[in-house]
């Protein structure tokens, strides 16, 4: 069985603060992929990043950075110098090949990020 836990239901920070969204996953597979998606109030899910289980390099894209640590089964997401436009629900998701059954994404429950001006 696979599971993704986003323990932070809601985070509220003031604009320009840094904020980290936590994601912890569980899977028995050795090959798996982790994703982050952003869901703004309009409702669509916007893909942010994909990371495979063999690549533990951290990644930075502008104000966004991701820290993947297999030792703690975590894939945390940090926004530096947050902006009001970053306000959204952020989902962490897992895709693993268990050899059978549906291969859809297993999502965490999401973290609602509120950036106050």
Partner 1 sequence: EADIYQTPRYLVIGTGKKITLECSQTMGHDKMYWYQQDPGMELHLIHYSYGVNSTEKGDLSSESTVSRIRTEHFPLTLESARPSHTSQYLCASRWGLAGITDTQYFGPGTRLTVL
**Residue placing its CB nearer to partner 1 in the complex, 16 or 50:** 50
Adjacent-strand bridge partners of 107:
93
Instruction: Please report, for residues 31, 38, 44, 50, 100, the alpha-carbon distance to residue 47 in angstroms, rounded to integers and kept in the order given.
Output: 20, 7, 10, 8, 25
Closest separation in Å from C-beta 95 to partner 1: 5
- Judged by the rule CB under 8 A, the positions of this chain that interact with partner 1 are 31-33, 35, 37, 42-47, 50, 52, 89, 91, 95-97, 102-105, 107, 109-110, 112
Q: Which is nearer to partner 1, 12 or 18 (CB)?
A: 12
Nearest approach, Cβ of 16 to partner 1 (angstroms)? 26
Nearer to partner 1, 2 or 74 (CB): 2
The answer to whether the beta carbons of residues 67 and 22 sit under 8 Å apart is no
- For partner 1, which is the closer residue by CB, 18 or 56? 56
96 within 8 A of 105, measured Cβ to Cβ: no
Distance between CA 111 and CA 113 in Å, rounded?
Answer: 6
């Amino acid at each position: 069985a696979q599971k993704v836990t986003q323990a932070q239901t809601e985070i509220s920070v003031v604009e320009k603060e840094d904020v980290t969204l936590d994601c912890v996953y569980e899977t028995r597979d050795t090959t798996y992929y982790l994703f982050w998606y952003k869901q703004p109030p309009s409702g669509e899910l916007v893909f942010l990043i994909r990371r495979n289980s063999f690549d533990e390099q951290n990644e930075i894209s502008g104000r966004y950075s991701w820290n993947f640590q297999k030792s703690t089964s975590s894939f945390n997401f940090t926004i530096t110098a947050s902006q009001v436009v970053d306000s959204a629900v952020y989902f962490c998701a897992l895709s693993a090949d268990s050899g059978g059954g549906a291969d859809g994404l297993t999502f965490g429950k999401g973290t609602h990020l509120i950036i106050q001006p």
